[in-house]
Amino acid sequence: MHAAAHTIGTTACFFMTKRLYKFSPAGGSDPAINPDFLPQLQSICPQNGDVNVRLPMDRGSERTFDKQILDNIRNGFAVLESDARLYDDETTRMVVDSYFGILTPIFGPSFESDFVDSIVKMGQIGVKTGPKGEIRRVCTAFN
């Protein structure tokens, strides 16, 4: 689950502009943003403001590796749109919710263990090495 990686780190206002001010199809802001959170985001990233200003991706625990990001997603406090969309889909919503059941601490999934497992799996995805691979100088373009 890629959102879990957003438990630590920041993003730039550049990535928030569309979500805060020009959300499709009707414009305005993304209705998935908690109404109590929207003014805070807009004050950090004002319309036509500095797009390089940084804000934490995980409200409340931006420097701690934990499942707070998932609770933020559940409650409309997701900073990035891609994270917010996880709660729109029934399947991914069930995964997010599975970390918050009453019996989860004893019998349920472990966020930390599941995250480690997913990183190991990603590391096994057809990595190209030697002459078949390349280290990109610009991430969005082939050398």
Q: Is 92 one of the annotated binding-site residues?
A: no
**CA nearest 78: which of 52, 104, 60?**
60
Q: Residues 33-82: pLDDT tens digits?
A: 999 999 999 999 999 999 999 999 998 888 888 889 999 999 999 999 99
Average pLDDT over residues 115-138: 82
pTM of the model: 0.75
Q: Which two tokens stand for residue 70?
A: 């998932």
Is the pLDDT confidence value at 95 over 70?
yes
Q: Is 114 one of the annotated binding-site residues?
A: no
Average pLDDT over residues 96-101: 86
Q: Is 91 one of the annotated binding-site residues?
A: no
Q: Is 2 one of the annotated binding-site residues?
A: no
Sign (positive or negative) of CA dihedral 47, 68, 2, 88: negative
More confident residue, 26 or 55: 55
Q: What residue ranges define each of the domains in the chain, with the CATH number in brackets?
A: 2-123 (1.10.420.10)
Average pLDDT over residues 7-33: 92
